[in-house]
Amino acid sequence: MSIIDRAKSIVSGSQDDTFRYQCTSCMEIFDSEEAHMGKVSCPQCGDRNVRDFA
């Protein structure tokens, strides 16, 4: 796969590379492109106490 094709696939979002988290404060479940849990904050309440939600 060429570098251009790789870029296209990233831009088009054909790959499912989001991560699902759950806020431990308000229990909101949300998706984020951020792979590092420590950088994720809840979109509902802004709390950073989130966990992986499988």
Binding site for Zn ion (CB under 5 A): 23, 25-26, 28, 42, 44-45, 47
Closest CA to 27 of 11, 47, 13, 2: 47
47 versus 52: smaller Cβ distance to Zn ion:
47
User: From the CB of 32, what's the least distance to Zn ion, in Å?
Assistant: 13
Close Cβ partners of 5 (under 8 Å, ≥ 6 residues apart)? none
Rounded Cα–Cα distance for residues 18 and 28 (Å): 16
Q: Which is nearer to Zn ion, 13 or 43 (CB)?
A: 43
CB of 10 to Zn ion, least distance (A): 29
